[in-house]
Amino acid sequence: MQDTLTLEQQIDLQITSSGPMSVATYMGICLTHPTKGYYKGADPLGARGDFVTAPEISQMFGELIGFWLVNLWQQMSEPKAFTLVELGPGRGTLMADILRVACRAPGFRDALKLRLFETNPALMAEQNARLEAYEPKWLQDFENFDDGPVLIVANEFFDALPIRQFVRKEDGWHERQIGLVDGKRAFGLSPTPIPTSAMPDAVADAPTDSMLEVAFAGAEVMTRLAKIVARQGGSILAIDYGYGSTQTGDTLQGVRRHTFANVLEAPGETDLSAHVDFGALANVARAGGLAVQPLATQGEFLKRLGIAERAAALSGANPGSAEDIRIAHDRLVGQDQMGTLFKVFCAHSPGLMPPGFVS
Ligand SMILES: C[S@@+](CC[C@H](N)C(=O)[O-])C[C@H]1O[C@@H](n2cnc3c(N)ncnc32)[C@H](O)[C@@H]1O
């Protein structure tokens, strides 16, 4: 396709020539088109970008996850070689905070192999600038891991993967598609129904017009990672907004410059994401041989790991920043802020007991 065309023109041309596209195809093009995708352009994170993530709010977030990782490494008898993977590392802030703390544990730094999975060249450069001292390598796929246990961390990664949407009608479920009406992009439904029996049991009784989201791309990633962790030992920690068991509802959202935006407008300039179905990810991880902790809210998880104590220690050391630290603490754990909306998922080798969860 001509790269001189804008992303809008490319999408509209594809619809004109091939017919309406699925939400997943649209999301995939908008987010990761090789030259014009949202995640291929300038750094979208931080105060001047479209959204602010937990590690960008406070170092406490990454530091506590650093302690958490050391705990698991110790539970595994401090292996002399292990791989630490971050999926979608953003600016490298989370990993820098993790490693500043974790590498204080004797032996952790020498045992560490750092691997990052990232699609955005601008962010890769930032990750390299922050993490160069730890000699990171970027994964192209989820094959060829070094021997030894694998600890995986992902903050706000799974919500950025494409989802499919289906709407219940009298004759079954119809896939939601994006077509052109009077030259403008609009949602519609595939005419071909999918039988109810082909959909998850959890939505068998869903009323007409219910919407089901299926995160096939996230499930694919989890399947591959679970296989590696089941074989080599370790864990997968994923933090995101989402829900604990498959349910109906439209969670696809667009955000541009800190404001909700129409998902069909400004493709490539609007962040598109969807809430994560952690119940579906848990099923995939269990099928791959892993144990799964009961989902925790971000607030509960961080409190159990000691965020109040960490905030007090930081404030004691920097009295001039105490108010900022209090505000950051409240943003991370507050029920009306990120504390309840964001959930913490952990799948791991049977036998490990990851802290921060209530089994
Ligand atoms: C919402 S940002 C979160 C960044 C970081 N984890 C944080 O919390 O600040 C999503 C991250 O995932 C990356 N990403 C999105 N889609 C991806 C994909 N398909 N493959 C690899 N990385 C992807 C983005 O470039 C970005 O680094």
**Tens of pLDDT along 345-359?**
999 999 999 999 997
Q: ∠220-187-341 over CA atoms, to 5°? A: 55
pLDDT attached to residue 3: 72
Task: Please tell me the distance between residue 45's alpha carbon and the centre of ligand 1 in angstroms.
Answer: 10
Residue 261 lies in a domain: yes
Would you list the DSSP string of 8-27? HHHHHHHHHHH--EEHHHHH
| Number of domains the chain contains | 1
Task: Please tell me the distance between residue 161's alpha carbon and the centre of ligand 1 in angstroms.
Answer: 9
Asked if pLDDT for residue 157 goes beyond 80, the answer is: yes
Q: What is the mean pLDDT of residues 314-336?
A: 96
Q: pLDDT band at 44, cuts 50/70/90?
A: confident
How far is residue 202 from each of residues 198, 199, 205, 315, measured CA to CA in Å? 12, 8, 8, 46
Residue 37 lies in a domain: no
Q: Which atom of ligand 1 is nearest to the CA of 31?
A: 16
Would you list the DSSP string of 50-111? SB--HHHH-HHHHHHHHHHHHHHHHHTT--SSEEEEEES-TTSHHHHHHHHHHTTSTTHHHH
**245-259, pLDDT tens digit by residue?**
999 999 999 998 888
DSSP 316: H
Q: Which residues, 6 or more positions from 182, have their beta carbon under 8 angstroms from its beta carbon?
A: none
- Partnered with residue 167 across adjacent β-strands are 174, 211
Return the percent helix, strand and coil in the chain, to nearest 5: 40, 25, 35
Residue 103 lies in a domain: yes
Q: Which residues, 6 or more positions from 15, have their beta carbon under 8 angstroms from its beta carbon?
A: 21, 178, 179, 180, 185
pLDDT attached to residue 48: 55
Burial code (b: 16+ CB inside 10 Å, e: under 16) for 245-269 equals ebbbeebbbbbbeeeebebbeebbb
Task: Please tell me the distance between residue 213's alpha carbon and the centre of ligand 1 in angstroms.
Answer: 20
Residue 190 lies in a domain: no
Pocket of ligand 1 (CB under 6 A): 31-32, 39, 45, 53, 55-56, 88-90, 94, 117-120, 123, 155-157, 160
Closest CA relative to residue 266, chosen from 24, 57, 31: 31
Residue 24 lies in a domain: no
Task: Please tell me the distance between residue 87's alpha carbon and the centre of ligand 1 in angstroms.
Answer: 7
**pLDDT above 90 coverage of the chain, percent:** 93
Quote the mean pLDDT of the chain. 95
pLDDT attached to residue 177: 98
Asked if pLDDT for residue 144 goes beyond 60, the answer is: yes
User: Which amino acid type is present at position 206?
Assistant: A
Task: Please tell me the distance between residue 123's alpha carbon and the centre of ligand 1 in angstroms.
Answer: 9
Residue 259 lies in a domain: yes
Closest CA relative to residue 219, chosen from 271, 286, 151, 150: 286
State which of 60, 120, 258 you would mutate to test the pocket of ligand 1, scoring each by most atoms of that ligand within 8 A of its C-beta.
120
pLDDT attached to residue 2: 57
Residue 113 lies in a domain: yes
**112-143, pLDDT tens digit by residue?**
999 999 999 999 999 999 999 999 999 999 98
Residue having the nearest C-alpha atom to atom 11 of ligand 1? 88
Provide the strand spans (E) within the chain: 21-22, 82-87, 112-117, 137-138, 150-155, 164-169, 172-181, 184-189, 211-214, 234-243, 253-256, 259-261, 271-273, 276-277, 291-292, 296-297, 342-348
**pLDDT above 70 coverage of the chain, percent:** 98
Interatomic CA distance for residues 70 and 309, integer angstroms: 18
**54-106, pLDDT tens digit by residue?**
999 999 999 999 999 999 999 999 999 999 999 999 999 999 999 999 999 99
pLDDT attached to residue 49: 65
Q: Which atom of ligand 1 is nearest to the CA of 273?
A: 1
Q: What is the mean pLDDT of residues 180-206?
A: 95
The CATH code of the domain that includes 343 is 3.40.50.12710
Q: pLDDT band at 46, cuts 50/70/90?
A: low
Residue 194 lies in a domain: no
Q: What is the mean pLDDT of residues 280-308?
A: 98
Burial code (b: 16+ CB inside 10 Å, e: under 16) for 175-208 equals bbbbbeeeeebebebbeebbeeeebbeebeebee
Q: Which atom of ligand 1 is nearest to the CA of 86?
A: 6
Interatomic CA distance for residues 134 and 83, integer angstroms: 12
pLDDT attached to residue 345: 98
Q: Which atom of ligand 1 is nearest to the CA of 32?
A: 19
Decide: pTM greater than 0.85. Answer: yes
Task: Please tell me the distance between residue 320's alpha carbon and the centre of ligand 1 in angstroms.
Answer: 33
Q: Which residues, 6 or more positions from 100, have their beta carbon under 8 angstroms from its beta carbon?
A: 62, 63, 66
C-alpha 86 chain-centroid distance: 10
Domain that holds residue 105: 54-161+217-348
Task: Please tell me the distance between residue 171's alpha carbon and the centre of ligand 1 in angstroms.
Answer: 38
